[in-house]
Chains A and B, each alone.
Chain A
Amino acid sequence: MSDILLEGRDLVKHYPVTQGLLRKLVGYVRAVDGISFSVERGKTLSLVGESGAGKTTAARAVLLLEKLTSGCIFFEGQNICQFSSSQLKADYRPRVQAVQQNPWSSMNPRMRVRDIIAEPLVVNTRQSKQQVRKRVLELLDQVGLMPEHAERYPHEFSGGQRQRIAVARALALHPSLIVLDEPVSALDVSIRAQIMNLLKDLQDQHNISYLVIAHNLATVRYMSHSVAIMYLGEIVEYGEAEALFEQPLHPYTRALISASVLTVPEENDREVTQIILKGEMPSPLNPPSGCRFHTRCPCAWDICSQEVPQKKVMGTQWVRCHLYD
């Protein structure tokens, strides 16, 4: 069995934009424009980027919530684009589950916790009520909750506890991969550590892979084995987490790190040197020519607006930037 659990090859998702009564096609939102990545068994890959980078779209594609414009997802070596819908329901869906960002809206407020956690089992398996109940209690225990919590409703819990319930639900079908969309960003700072530690422990215990969508780099560094930095629908840098954070190659990666690092002020009480990018992320309707980052890059030169940079492998990372040609 290969080490690679899930692979995305040249994934593209364009949303058509229409105007006017006759719905004339005027362009495409190029949300994801040719990205490739792979998630290894039992390891975590994080897709990092700011809003508009396309990371959520990529995650939704993996969860089959979006139909790709082109490109394919390979799961355990098999091309799932060729799976029929019943095959997907039987072989893919149960193995790829999700934990969402907002613990307040990701659960049906009208359902009790035990039904929420049991739902994946009820929909996908034919287990008896006894078996389901047993599994629910097992899952509650794994995420650090008590059996009596099963009878309550979501609104009776705090944000952190709700995320635990969401994790329990995601584990119900013994998935190989869990997609986590900003799993801790809606939680209080002191609770984040609890949930991140829980996720790491579960990964070690059950050899689950995680695909994490995040924008907080410190969280990403703590949780990930590999990282993909996304900008405007493309991956600009990709590689092993530690190496990437120690030696960021792409100017965007460096700016992101600089904006996120907690630097204790040295001289004056708040003078911190930072890379400040000019402008904002351009619209994915009309990405800049050549390297998409050139409009904001502090090191851009002529070739950057003319040619799209190719992938260059440097050690355990690869980067798309003319600086490394």
Chain B
Amino acid sequence: MSDRIVLQVENLHTSFFTRLGEVKVIDGVSFYVREGETLGIVGESGCGKTVTGLSIIRLLPEPAGKVVGGKILLDGSDLLKLSQKEMREYRGKKITMILQDPMTSLNPVYPIGDQIAESIRLHRNLSEGEVLKEVISTLKLLRIPAPQMRLRDYPFQLSGGMRQRVVGAIAMSCRPRLLIADEPTTALDATIQAQYIALFKEIQRETGVAIVFITHDFGVIANICHRVAVMYAGKIVETARTRELFKNPQHPYTIALMESVPRLDQKTDRLYSIQGQPPSLANLPPGCRFLPRCSDPLDFCHEREPEEKVIGDEHSVSCWRMWRTN
């Protein structure tokens, strides 16, 4: 892992324009990822994590979804300033995405070799022989056994775990700088998930790719992420290095979330359950978004949304409690 920053997201705002008006799905989100590093974005459904991924790779469903503010810098260039054509050149080559469902991520009517080759043919000027070599080398990178024989396989002939590897192969075929993975392991069995995560750690070590890993599973976070950003209702509430987040969580949501997850390594008598539901983004009251579910709010929390405070080495929290002087 080097110190070079590959992705820098500054104050990103994404909105969806619906019958109810403008819904600010992402409301001022900032983070960065370094070469060879994995940043986890963790949160529940509706918090905006998937939309963050789609915003970065600029694949929001049009015309309803739009990035309305901020900067997305990939190796220094602002992706939001690129034309559609330029962005297409980036996609697949410099920045790729893996989705959750291996069943529908692959086209059932083409053999997997063709699907991996498609990306290579689009972005690199190679002869057919060289393309074939690249496909095989990518299959080897994903530790798919007997790659030469697998080229002609169709997706339905593969298991879920294998399919997800093929999806990974398509993503890594042009050795991108940034990989966005949106819940890639959620649909996999536990033991296959473990294999897959171990595999991606190796790939990251070999290629230095930066990964944004979107998930709701803390176990996976602990396993693969160097740093974590916790999202709630369109905002990042806490960012920290993984170990630090688990040992010293500060935001009430982070703490509550960790306490509501049952542990396997010890007996839990009673799970803490956060009362209420995530807020409706169309109808936000002023003040902190977590307020209705916070177990111990301050008076000030009603009035203004908390500002981010850096409280440690790469550890920042958006909560008024952090601002109180002792």
Q: A contacts B directly in the complex (CB < 8 Å)? A: yes
A-side residues, CB < 8 A to B, are 50-51, 158, 160, 188-194, 196-197, 215-219, 221-222, 242, 245, 255-266, 269-270, 272, 274-277, 280-281
Q: Do the beta carbons of B44 and A189 come within 8 Å of each other?
A: yes
Determine the chain A residues whose CB is within 8 A of the CB of B225 once the complex forms. 269-270
* Known contacts A50-B189, A190-B44, A190-B257, A270 near B222 by CB under 8 Å: yes
Residue in chain A with minimal CB distance to B253: A190
Q: Given A260-B264, A262-B263, output 5 extra A-B contacts at Cβ < 8 Å.
A: A192-B260, A193-B271, A260-B219, A262-B265, A270-B225
Residue pair A215, B189 in contact (C-beta under 8 Å): yes
- Tell me, rounded to whole Å, the shortest Cβ–Cβ distance linking A212 to chain B: 13
The smallest beta-carbon distance between A8 and chain B, in angstroms, is 24
A265–B195 Cα distance when bound, in Å, is 18
Taking CB atoms, residues of chain A closer than 8 Å to B257 are 189-190
Q: Contacts A221-B262, A276-B195, A280-B162; is A197 near B271 (CB within 8 Å)?
A: yes
Q: Is the CB of A196 within 8 A of B262?
A: yes
Contact B267 A190 (CB under 8 A): no
With A197-B271, A255-B191: A264-B264 Cβ-Cβ less than 8 Å: no
Within 8 A of A (CB), among B75-114: none
With contacts A256-B191, A261-B219, A262-B222 taken as known, whether A193 is within 8 angstroms of B264 at the C-beta atoms is: no
B240, chain A: closest CB distance, angstroms? 10
Chain B interface (Cβ within 8 Å of chain A)? 38, 44-45, 159-162, 189-195, 198, 201, 216-219, 222-227, 241-243, 246-247, 256-257, 260-265, 267-268, 270-275, 277-278
**CB within 8 A of B242: which of A269, A275, A276?**
A269
Inter-chain contacts of A160 with B (CB < 8 A): 277
A242 to B190, Cβ gap below 8 A?
A: no
Of all chain B residues, which has the CB nearest A245? B264
Interchain CA distance A259-B160 in the complex, whole Å: 17
Among A190, A255, A276, max chain B CB count under 10 A is at: A190
Decide if B264 touches A261 in the complex (CB within 8 Å).
Answer: yes
Nearest CB of A to B234, in Å: 16
Q: How far is the CB of A237 from chain B (nearest CB, A)?
A: 15
Contacts of A193 in B (CB 8 A): 260-262, 271-274
B226 and A262 contact, CB distance less than 8 A:
no
Question: Given A257, A270, A280, A281, which contacts B264 in the complex, CB threshold below 8 Å?
Answer: A257
Contact of A189 among B192, B223, B260 (CB under 8 A): B260
Question: How far does the alpha carbon of A51 sit from the alpha carbon of B103 in the complex, in Å?
Answer: 15
Pair A258/B194 contact, Cβ less than 8 Å: yes
Complex interface: chain B residues within 8 A of A51 (CB) = 160, 189
A-B residue pairs, 5 tightest by C-beta: A193-B273, A50-B189, A259-B194, A193-B260, A222-B262
Contacts of B201 in A (CB 8 A): 270
CB-based contact B216/A188 at 8 Å? yes
CA distance A188 to B273 in the complex (A): 12
Report the bound CA distance from A215 to B194 in whole Å.
14
Chain A residues whose CB sits within 8 angstroms of the CB of B190 once the complex forms? 50, 215-217, 256, 259-260
Known: A218-B263, A264-B243, A280-B162. Contact between A259 and B193, CB under 8 A? yes
Question: Is the Cβ of A270 less than 8 Å from the Cβ of B223?
Answer: yes
**Contact A280 to B243, CB < 8 A, known contacts A242-B267, A255-B191, A274-B198:** no
Q: Is the CB of A265 within 8 A of B271?
A: no
Partner of B222, one of A158, A245, A263: A263
* Chain A residues within 8 Å of B265, by CB: 261-263
Residues of B within 8 A of A196 (CB): 262, 271
CB distance from A197 to the nearest CB of B (A): 6
Q: Which residues of B contact A188 (CB under 8 A)?
A: 44-45, 216, 278
Expressed in whole angstroms, the Cα–Cα distance for A257 and B194 within the complex equals: 11
Residues on A with C-beta less than 8 A from B270 are: 197
Contact B242 A50 (CB under 8 A): no
> Which of A217, A257, A280 makes the CB contact (< 8 A) with B161?
A280
Residues of chain B within 8 A (CB-CB) of A219 are 262
Chain A residues closer than 8 Å to B262, beta-carbon distance: 193, 196, 218-219, 221-222
A277 close to B195 (CB less than 8 A): yes
A259 CA to B243 CA in the complex, in Å?
18
Interface centre among A188, A215, A242, A255 (most CB of B within 10 A): A188
A29 to chain B, nearest CB (A): 15
Q: Are B247 and A264 in contact (CB under 8 A)?
A: yes
- Shortest Cβ distance from A48 into B: residue: B190
Partner of B246, one of A197, A242, A264: A264
- Residues of chain A contacted by B278 (CB below 8 angstroms): 188
Residue numbers in A under 8 Å from B189 (CB-CB): 50-51, 215, 281
Q: Report the Cα distance A219→B190, complex, angstroms.
A: 13
Report Cα–Cα, A267/B83, bound state, in Å: 44
Q: Could you list some 7 contacts between A and B, CB below 8 A? A: A221-B264, A245-B264, A261-B264, A264-B222, A265-B242, A269-B243, A275-B194
> Which residues of the partner chain A approach B224 to less than 8 Å between Cβ atoms?
270
A190 interface neighbour in B195, B198, B273, Cβ under 8 Å:
B273
Chain B residues closer than 8 Å to A218, beta-carbon distance: 261-264
What's the Cα separation between A215 and B192 when bound, in Å? 12
Which residue of chain B lies nearest to A242 when distances are taken between CB atoms in the complex?
Answer: B267
Q: By the criterion CB–CB under 8 Å, are B261 and A189 in contact? A: yes
**Complex formed: what's the CA distance from A100 to B102 in Å?**
23
A189 CB contacts on chain B under 8 angstroms: 44, 216-217, 257, 260-261
> In the complex, what's the smallest C-beta–C-beta distance from A78 to chain B, in angstroms?
36
Q: Which residues of A contact B260 (CB under 8 A)?
A: 189-190, 192-193
- Point out the residues of chain A lying under 8 angstroms from B275, CB to CB: 194
Distance between Cα atoms of A264 and B265 in the complex (Å): 11
